[in-house]
Amino acid sequence: MLLRGPRRVPWRGCFLGLLLAGWLTGTGGAAKREKFEPPVPAARIETGPLEYHPLNSFYLMSRSSSSTLDFIDAHHLLFTFRATGLLKRLPECQPDDEDQLIRALVLRLPDGKVERSAEWRLHDRAHYLWPLGNGRFLVRQRDALFLTDANLELRPFLESQTPLRLVKLSPDARLLLVENDIEKHTAEEHRRLVEEARKEDLEPPAEDVQLSVVRVDDRSLLMQARTLRVADLAMISDGYIETLSARGDHWMLRYRPFQGEPSVIGDVESTCRPSEIALTEDIAVMSTCPERGDDHLFQAISLRGKKLWNYRWDSHYIWPTTAASQSGGRIAFSTLKVGRPVSTLDPIDETDLQAQRVEVVDAATGRLELTQYATPVLSAGQNYALSPDGGQFAVLRDNAIEIYNLPPATAEAGAAE
């Protein structure tokens, strides 16, 4: 097995969406979406004194990760961002590295006092931090994963002997999906192909991918498989949701546990193959294509097969990202608005981007709770967060971190029938 548990790992760095804009429909029928005035933030923490400097527009289209915003608990935030300045090249740096120094700050609420700080050196601009809940986080440095908390100390968790291609958590952060290269050439063939690719300025040869699902609490292996390419599983509960072709424009949804027999959840109608996104421990949303028009439809469905709510958004919105409260009661959706309708293959650049809109909804009912715009626009997301209980929402906006109080949720997502 290529993944290993904790051992002494040298300090080194370098990895690794749904805005709702349209009409909401619940199980009782359609209703045109209400308009909400942005509320006044309960707290505002200026980012200038923290030495946070937004990236320029050159990086906007790259979807690179250079900042994150998360709740540690109801009274503290973890804010990480790229620190400015020159970096000394280290012996372990590789020719294609894109080093950045990430500054991590623990901020007290509501005054924003810095209670602890640290710096992590990364060798790329891909996703590097995931919240695990209960004040813990997963940090990636190159092909190694570490655990951290409010102390900001990095403790070894897992290391891959080959390049990591995907790191993903289930909504409840109990399961970890790790995908890494697995050799399909001999070592000698691989070296030769890599050298030939470099001479021609081409991508290195593709390897097969090893897919591993691991329990976070004890690092036990639930599933392992070999695939031809990176596969994104919609992990939920102790398994994942898959879509099977049924008849015509109807698609069957099936829940496949990692241990046990699969079961049918229900079906959805779509002119394209739906994609599955796990939102909470027992709610997933299906991205589908309606019969008419260029809009997209998101259909929320519980693991028991009950269709909860729908959301339709048009082709002016791209690149959705999501965040959920640890309780599972609320979900935040973000996407980027462009000035013209865009299809999958249409080229776009930074001049097309107009705004990043973030909306908070009740997971069980789809009710809109809050709408706000994040600035600067971050195409990779992670510039907004929900508190563990879903009672607070934080967003980077207008050179500050703004905190909003939310009304009590009507029901826990896990209670949806």
Residue 263 has pLDDT above 90, yes or no: yes
pTM here is 0.83
Q: Average pLDDT for residues 181-197, to the nearest whole number?
A: 71
18 has pLDDT over 50: no
Most confident of 20-34, 50-64, 101-115: 101-115
Segment 150-175 mean pLDDT: 94
* Coil, strand or helix at 352: helix
Structure token pair of residue 352: 């097309």
Question: For residues 206 and 188, is the Cβ–Cβ distance under 8 A?
Answer: no
Q: Tell me which residue of 120, 193, 191, 130 sits closest to 324, measured CA to CA.
A: 130
What is the C-alpha to C-alpha distance for residues 23 and 30, in angstroms, rounded to an integer?
A: 8
- C-beta atoms surrounding 179 within 10 Å: 25
Mean pLDDT of the 397-411 span: 87
Cβ–Cβ under 8 Å, residues 341 and 402 = no
Q: Is the pLDDT of residue 315 over 70?
A: yes
Region 199-206: mean pLDDT is 68
Model pLDDT, residue 149: 97
The residues with which 305 forms a beta bridge, in sequence order, are: none
If you average pLDDT over every residue of the chain, what do you get?
A: 82
Q: Does domain 3-16+18-415 have CATH number 2.130.10.10?
A: yes
Give residue 153's pLDDT.
Answer: 97
| Closest listed residue to residue 169, CA positions, set 205, 207, 210, 217 | 217
Among 184-198, 199-213, 273-287, the range of highest mean pLDDT: 273-287
Rounded to an integer, the average pLDDT of 11-19 is 30
Residue 53: half-sphere exposure toward Cβ, Cα within 13 Å: 8
Phi/psi at 23 (nearest 5 deg)? -130, 130
